[in-house]
Amino acid sequence: MPSRAARLLGFVRPYRTAVAAGASLSLVASVLDGLSFALLIPFLRLLFGIDTPEAPGSGRLERWLDHALGGLFDPGDPAAALRNLVLLIVSVVAVKNAALYAAGLLRVRAQEGVARDLRLALHSHLQRLGLDFFTRTRGGQIATRLTSDPDQAKLVIGQVLWSVAQSGTVVLVYVALLFAISARLTLITLVIAPAIAALLHPLLTRVRVRLRDVAHERGELTALAVETAEAARAVKAHGGAGAEQERAARTTRRYGDSIMRVERLSLLAHPVSETLGAAAVLAIVTTGSVTALAGSLRPEALIAFLAVTLRLLPPVKALSHVPALAEQALVAAERVFDLLDRAPTDVDPPGSPDFPGFQREIELRHAWVAHDPERWVLRDINLRIQRGEIVAIVGPSGAGKSTLLDLLPRFVEPARGDVLIDGVSVRRYDRRSLRRALGIVSQHTVLFHDSVMHNIAYGDRAGASREEVEAAARAANAHEFILRLPQGYDTVLGERGLRLSGGERQRVAIARALLRDPEILLLDEATSSLDAESERLIHDAIRRLAGGRTVLVVAHRASTVAYADRVLRLERGRLVEPDAARAPRAARESVA
């Protein structure tokens, strides 16, 4: 498998043109930046009235500048020559900054593109993972993988590749400029700079180690935020504010401690490098002063050399930070790739045929299901359901009722046995086409932060007309209360549909299922937590839905599903009443 760096660079590849163009502009900016400092030499010479660069101590750079800029200088008009030189310096600086601005725009475009592509890859992969992954993984950790980790991983563009390109070219240009001014002083500088980087290396190594802890604790903090929002009602109802505050304090303290450990080391790098840099500058100044006094280096060249040396320190420091920044990006990328490397379980082999439709019967044949090894949730289930039948599954919590329903849409797969429709295993069909034939209403209704219209016309029925949506809402006994909402069908329901009561949310979910016109309807304890009036309205909607459809309904008590043709009981994963007598069709129709 490619290394994490190689895989991350694979996400950079689509933006290689922007990266290359940005690197070229950075090179142009670096050359112009070096030129602006080189122009200090003729500027100082004109400012202090030094006549010619041919005096003893003049270097190659000074002679070249005099040759290149000779046309700008009128020996008889020093003021005009100084004015022309100032305009040239300003123009060079302006063009340099324009190039840096353009390079920065390209950098942002590339790094945000990488972050977007990582998020889209993660989101797409999450759709292909089975429900077991979501039951085992905290929502906050998933949220962090989708938001924070791609932002950290994009640093490979914004801080690593770009720093190497921009700071690296600046260093090369400045070193060449320093050699042109004084080879002796430059060699001293080149000896000191790596020594500073070597002294900082142990600090940066420890920073990289601590970054993994920060990434994990950030995920825990996000998970806490998600749970706090979702559990607000339960916390208030059960007096859990104190316990939640303590849990928040522990989580935030761990996150803060991990940040402090990183920052303690990162902040130490600055004073250490600053002190070492000051010592290096003093060494260069001392050596340069001795050289100038000996007549082998002109004063204006020494001043330019010191200016360039001081300007060289920030890009050198930036390059010394590249390993830590790269590690930060790679740690985040590692978390992203860890999720992308999880084997998708909710996918079908290429060429799987579409589900042709339901004609005769559903059969569960010796079906066994285990969520964990050695713990069977369903045991040897044998069941036949005829087209048009309403079959109720009752039993205590944990008996496996919801798992039995999850077998039909293939949310879970039997470890042994099979599920067949019209004698053909459902494993043969494309999952999406199979699920299009099903209408599913669960106990925990999921509504989105969107309008009622879009919550009903969702997924593969997103293009349904207003008339179709209203017809489905009427059939679900939802139309009347929807019209009483502030904007009717255009009312935004808020996070998780909290603007509605439990019964209203369930009726919207039933309308969503009905809009699909499903051949098979799966109702998983759709009325377990509702008041009597809401339950009556929903049962009335279910009876209306049942006409001509096959319905499997899960309930705790048989009395709540008196309209069913058959009532089967599950206990500890087994059907204990597989031959329960059929309820007369008239009994179903007489239940109010």
Tell me the pLDDT tens digit for each residue of 522-573.
888 766 555 666 667 667 766 766 667 888 888 776 666 777 888 888 888 8
Residue 385: per-residue pLDDT: 92
* Residue 71 pLDDT grade (very low, low, confident, very high; cuts 50, 70, 90): low
Q: What whole-number distance in Å separates Cα of residue 486 and Cα of residue 491? A: 6
Q: Is 342 helix (H, G, I), strand (E, B) or coil?
A: coil
- Give mean pLDDT, residues 149-154: 81
Query: Per DSSP, what are the bridge partners of residue 523?
Result: 441, 553
Asked if 557 contacts 391 with a C-beta cutoff of 8 angstroms, the reply is no
* Residue 417 pLDDT grade (very low, low, confident, very high; cuts 50, 70, 90): very high
Q: Is 1 helix (H, G, I), strand (E, B) or coil?
A: coil
The angle, 0 to 180 degrees and rounded to 10, between the axes of the packed helices 299-340 and 78-127 is: 10
Query: Per DSSP, what are the bridge partners of residue 492?
Result: 451
Residue 133: per-residue pLDDT: 77
Q: Is the pLDDT of residue 470 over 50?
A: yes
Residue 116: per-residue pLDDT: 87
Q: What whole-number distance in Å separates Cα of residue 52 and Cα of residue 55? A: 6
Q: Cβ atoms within 10 A of the Cβ of 218, count?
A: 22
Residue 564: per-residue pLDDT: 80
* Residue 228 pLDDT grade (very low, low, confident, very high; cuts 50, 70, 90): low
Taking alpha carbons only, the member of 386, 520, 377, 381 closest to residue 441 is: 520
Question: How far, in Å, are 223, 243, 248, 444 from residue 238 at the CA level?
Answer: 21, 11, 17, 20
- Give mean pLDDT, residues 246-251: 78
Taking alpha carbons only, the member of 473, 483, 553 closest to residue 514 is: 473
Residue 463: per-residue pLDDT: 82
The pairing of beta strand 438-441 with beta strand 520-524: parallel
Taking alpha carbons only, the member of 96, 221, 81, 62 closest to residue 148 is: 221
The token pair that represents 158 in the structure block = 């914004």
**This prediction's pTM:** 0.66
DSSP state of 561: G
Q: What whole-number distance in Å separates Cα of residue 556 and Cα of residue 562? A: 12
Percent of the chain whose predicted confidence (pLDDT) is above 70:
69
- What is the chain's mean pLDDT, rounded? 76
Q: Is the pLDDT of residue 269 over 50?
A: yes
Give 571-578 contacts, CB < 8 A, sequence gap 24+. Answer: 571/395, 571/396, 571/399, 572/379, 572/399, 572/400, 573/369, 573/376, 573/377, 573/378, 573/379, 573/381, 573/399, 573/400, 574/379, 574/380, 574/381, 575/381, 575/382, 575/383, 578/382, 578/383
Q: How many CA atoms lie within 13 A of 88 on its CB side?
A: 21
Q: What whole-number distance in Å separates Cα of residue 317 and Cα of residue 334? A: 26
Asked if 133 contacts 340 with a C-beta cutoff of 8 angstroms, the reply is no
The angle, 0 to 180 degrees and rounded to 10, between the axes of the packed helices 241-293 and 183-230 is: 170
* Residue 419 pLDDT grade (very low, low, confident, very high; cuts 50, 70, 90): very high
Question: How far, in Å, are 379, 435, 473 from residue 479 at the CA level?
Answer: 42, 26, 5
Please provide residue 338's backbone torsions phi and psi, each rounded to the nearest 5 degrees. Answer: -60, -40
Asked if 69 contacts 89 with a C-beta cutoff of 8 angstroms, the reply is no
The token pair that represents 343 in the structure block = 């084997």
Q: Is 49 helix (H, G, I), strand (E, B) or coil?
A: coil
Q: Cβ atoms within 10 A of the Cβ of 401, count?
A: 26
